[in-house]
Amino acid sequence: MKTNRASKRFTIVIFSLTSAMILFAWVHSCFPADLSSRESEGVLALITAFFKLFGVTREMSELLLRKLAHFTEFTAIGALLLSCAYCFDRVRPHRFFVQVLSAGLFSAVIDETIQLFSEGRAGMIADVWIDFGGVVFGAALACLFYAVVRRVKHIS
């Protein structure tokens, strides 16, 4: 009997990666403001040094870096959540799009809520929207990826 479900191994790996990525986001939200700021400054220094190798000397603000980090983090979460849907239906994972977006929004709200209880941090509605935008973007990218994979498999 042919099934549209992904293999058990793939499913375990994807669900584990998704859980780990969400946990990563939530743990970082627990960091107090001074530790989070030091981490951002370190990453900012690395990025600045990298761009200087190519002659780019514009400075990036720590605020912009933090917003991009949130968007990128939740883009990965969105792609992973859509991959969880793919585990249940490899032909039409997009039929779970509402559930994927709901789980992503829930993760973003929890992420910002955690920051309300972290020393020197503040949960912000604007950050929930940035995170959710990342989820939508990541889920859409994963949807596109699986559609291309399906088409390439079908052609060959």
User: Into how many domains does the chain fold?
Assistant: 1
Tell me if 2 is assigned to some domain: no
pLDDT for res 1 = 45
Q: Does the pLDDT value for residue 54 go beyond 90?
A: no
What does the alpha-carbon distance between residue 79 and residue 135 come to, in Å, rounded to a whole number?
7
89 occurs within a structural domain? yes
Q: Tell me whether residue 3 is in a domain.
A: no
* Domain annotation covers residue 59: yes
| Any domain includes 125 | yes
Asked whether residue 65 is assigned to any structural domain, the reply reads yes
* Nearest alpha carbon to residue 5 among 86, 84, 82: 86
Range of the structural domain that residue 34 is part of: 8-155
What confidence tens digit (pLDDT) does each residue in 102-119 have? 999 999 999 999 999 999
pLDDT band at 44 (very low <50, low <70, confident <90, very high): confident
Neighbours of 142 (CB within 10 A): 24
